[in-house]
Amino acid sequence: MRFLLLLASVTIAQALVHVPLMRSKTLRMALQERGLLGDVLRHVQDVYSKYAPESAGAVSEPLVNYMDNQYFGRISIGSPPQEFSVVFDTGSAELWVPSVSCSSLACTNHRRFNPRLSSTFQSTDESVSISYGTGSIKGALAYDTVQVGSLAITKQGLLLSETESFFLYYSHFDGILGLGYPSLSVSRATPVFDNMWSEGLIPEDVFSVYLSSGSSSVVVFGGIDESLYSGPLRWVPVTHERFWQITIDSVALGDQVFACQDGCQAIVDTGTSVIAGHAEAMKGIQKAIGATADVYGLYHVTCSDIGSLPDLTITIGGAQYPVPAAAYISQFSGSCTSGFQTTAGPWILGDIFIREYFVAFDRSHNRIGFASAAKS
């Protein structure tokens, strides 16, 4: 705020040019005697009003929808800014983008960060490896300014990939921005969202996600946009502060319960496109919807059967969240595939579920809220 103080000092000095001061008098008394105090105070107030930052508000970051399979938005890194497309991923906690030093084929068709072009870049000697469900990266930890919408986070930890698995060659995004808890961070760098909050850039320690099959998907940092959902927003507690993990009461297809009769754990994951569950339960569900596997492990169903297939109903916190067949079956080029996969860990409620239900992630109370997503 040095600029503000200098402006105020200049104004006061100008007002006192012709005012002889007795050593025993305060500046305020002298100004008041000459009838100048009110003018000076009003001027100082005007200066502060003009240059003081606006109060923080929630910031919406629009997302690009690629075939209902990948959702990503824009960020920039460095000074001057270098732009990247990233998945805002609640299933991880690291921010990474490709580096100009990356030698992998997967980096050749994506934007790459050049540290030499950024005046705010800070390097480290720390090397970090991250594995995802469908790929892995290895790179170096660094710090720089990261811009998300109108929010500028200074000295943000990030990984600059130097090698990437071949699978990422086919991704339509450059990198990933993790929104998981700090305990999930491999590098131990503070995640982007935590820095948004600690630096006072957002009014609430909350972010929310709205995914659609159209062009209106968005992540809201610092609040909840009530226009993005209908009905009540129901909250459930986070059961393990690492992933955004909750308890599922049951998973049923039609009237038949296939899993979690006694409760089970699930992760709400914006970085996963499917709904994933335990092998035995998923085997039964795939069979019940008439899905058969091909040589690549994809499960196909007869497209004409979609209208007659039952809802998958996931019960959370005593409330039922039905997912219709039109949502859990993907149709592309005359082929229809199941959106169910297996996982050995907690269940995963990915984009198939989130397209049906607006989700709010509340760090201040360690809870997740669900409501019916507004129709786009």
pLDDT value, residue 10 = 29
CB 359 within 8 A of CB 373: no
pLDDT value, residue 200 = 97
Query: Which H helix or E strand runs over 197?
Result: helix 192-198
Q: Is the dihedral of CA 33, 34, 35, 39 positive or negative?
A: negative
Measure the CA–CA gap between 307 and 297, rounded to whole angstroms: 24
Measure the CA–CA gap between 27 and 31, rounded to whole angstroms: 6
CB 316 within 8 A of CB 248: yes
Find the angle CA(285)-CA(287)-CA(282) to the nearest 5 degrees. Answer: 35
Judge whether residue 334 has pLDDT over 90.
no
Higher local confidence (pLDDT), 298 or 31? 298
Phi/psi for 310 (5° steps) reads -75, 165
pLDDT value, residue 133 = 73
- The pLDDT-based confidence of 34 (bands split at 50, 70, 90) is low
Judge whether residue 32 has pLDDT over 90.
no
pLDDT value, residue 35 = 54
**Percent of the chain's residues with pLDDT above 70:** 85
pLDDT value, residue 11 = 29
Spatial CB neighbours of 289, under 8 Å, sequence gap ≥ 6? 253, 301, 305, 309, 325, 329, 338
pLDDT value, residue 36 = 52
Spatial CB neighbours of 116, under 8 Å, sequence gap ≥ 6? none
pLDDT value, residue 199 = 97
By the 10 Å C-beta count (0-12 exposed, 13-18 middle, 19+ buried), 174 is classed as buried
Higher local confidence (pLDDT), 333 or 156? 156
How far separated are the first and last CA of the chain, in Å rounded? 44
Strand partners, 95: 177
Average pLDDT across the chain, whole number: 87
Higher local confidence (pLDDT), 7 or 113? 113
Catalytic residue numbers read 89, 269
pTM for the model: 0.84
CB 267 within 8 A of CB 348: yes
Judge whether residue 308 has pLDDT over 70.
yes
Q: Where in the chain is the domain with CATH 2.40.70.10?
A: 59-210, 229-373
Higher local confidence (pLDDT), 146 or 51? 146
pLDDT value, residue 207 = 98
**Percent of the chain's residues with pLDDT above 90:** 80
- The pLDDT-based confidence of 131 (bands split at 50, 70, 90) is confident
Torsion of CA 118, 87, 70, 268, to 10 degrees: 180
Average pLDDT over residues 176-185: 97
- The pLDDT-based confidence of 376 (bands split at 50, 70, 90) is confident
CATH topology of domain 59-210: Cathepsin D, subunit A; domain 1 (2.40.70)
Q: Decide yes or no: CATH 2.40.70.10 for domain 229-373.
A: yes
Give one word for 317, left, alpha or beta, with left for phi > 0 and alpha for psi -120 to 50. left
- The pLDDT-based confidence of 56 (bands split at 50, 70, 90) is low
- The pLDDT-based confidence of 132 (bands split at 50, 70, 90) is confident
pLDDT value, residue 353 = 98
Higher local confidence (pLDDT), 91 or 26? 91
Judge whether residue 13 has pLDDT over 60.
no
As given in the structure block, the two tokens for residue 359 are: 């989700």
